[in-house]
Amino acid sequence: MARSPESFSQVESSKRTLQAQIVNYIRDAIVRGDLGPGARLRTEEIAGQFGISRIPVREALHELVAEGFVTVVPQRGAFVAELSVEDLEEIYLLRSSLEPLAARLAVENLTEALIEHFSAMIDEMEASENDLPLWSDIDLAFHMDLYSAAGRPRLFKMISSLRTNALRYTALYIHSPDYMPIVRVHHRELLDAYLRRDPDLAAQRTREHIQDFGAYMVRELRKVLGEGEEIDGRDREETSIESNGGVAQFGQ
């Protein structure tokens, strides 16, 4: 008997949900560092862990290629993308153009309730600095809630994608003793611009925030790449994709 349109819709929705779960699973393993640069991603191994066919795994890997987390080498397979100064510089170059624009537009739309919301979120971040997963969730929500207030869905989506691309780099340095003091000052400076309802100042401080942190990240990554250990790990021992626990999102 032929399937109804509703049943086809349910099947497609289930496929998309499963693919999204696999994408999140692999992406989070990369961000946490469980899967290092150059680690091979075997579709049959991932499919076996999920108890599914290889098709949704392949589709998930294609999505991760588009996000910049995975590369595919002909005749060899899929690998975690290498860390690259050029990639990092491009991410922060684009962010430093798009996020100030979103901040400018958002500040023009701020209500008293939203300003109180952002002020409370900064207080929550400062109170949770010893709990990085929680801090990172609040940090991400702080920035994305602001950009959502800009009322530009396409701009919001582009920024969200770039911030996702930056996660695996940020994860390398979030434990640095320099990280929290720098970010804490930047957040307070941003809040001051929101309280003033000054679009130009909000855009300026957002740009400075991103440029300063991007320059710091590039300097630190150059040190890592200059230590003699090749980040290209195609010939490394293969790394398991087994999850080690909870997922943490990382800010900036």
One domain for residues 94 and 119: yes
- For residue 69, is pLDDT > 70? yes
Q: Which amino acid is at 131?
A: D
pLDDT band at 65 (very low <50, low <70, confident <90, very high): very high
- For residue 1, is pLDDT > 80? no
Q: How far is CA 116 from CA 43, 54, 120, 138, 201, in A?
A: 47, 48, 6, 15, 19
- For residue 6, is pLDDT > 60? no
pLDDT band at 104 (very low <50, low <70, confident <90, very high): very high
Cβ 103 vs Cβ 206: under 8 Å? yes
One domain for residues 101 and 194: yes
The CATH number that applies at residue 65 is: 1.10.10.10
One domain for residues 188 and 211: yes
- For residue 141, is pLDDT > 70? yes
Query: Reduced to 3 states, what is the DSSP secondary structure of residue 83?
Result: coil
Last residue of a domain, one of 80, 105, 120: 80
Average pLDDT over residues 199-204: 96
- Cα–Cα distance for residue pair 188/126, rounded to 1 Å: 10
One domain for residues 75 and 100: no
One domain for residues 120 and 186: yes
- Which of 37-46, 147-156, 163-172, 223-232 bottoms out in mean pLDDT, i.e. has the lowest? 223-232
Provide the pLDDT for residue 95. 97
Cβ 12 vs Cβ 219: under 8 Å? no
- Residue 134 region by backbone torsions, left for phi larger than 0, else alpha for psi between -120 and 50, else beta: alpha
Provide the pLDDT for residue 252. 54
Asked, for residue 237, whether it belongs to a domain, the answer is no
Q: Quote the pTM value.
A: 0.75
One domain for residues 186 and 215: yes
One domain for residues 110 and 177: yes
Asked, for residue 204, whether it belongs to a domain, the answer is yes
Asked, for residue 238, whether it belongs to a domain, the answer is no
Q: Summarize pLDDT for 25-49 with one digit per residue, the tens.
A: 998 888 877 888 999 999 999 999 8
One domain for residues 73 and 136: no
One domain for residues 165 and 220: yes
Last residue of a domain, one of 48, 80, 112: 80
Provide the pLDDT for residue 14. 61
End-to-end Cα spacing for the chain: 53
One domain for residues 108 and 199: yes
Total domains present in the chain: 2
Which domain covers residue 19, as residue numbers?
Answer: 5-80
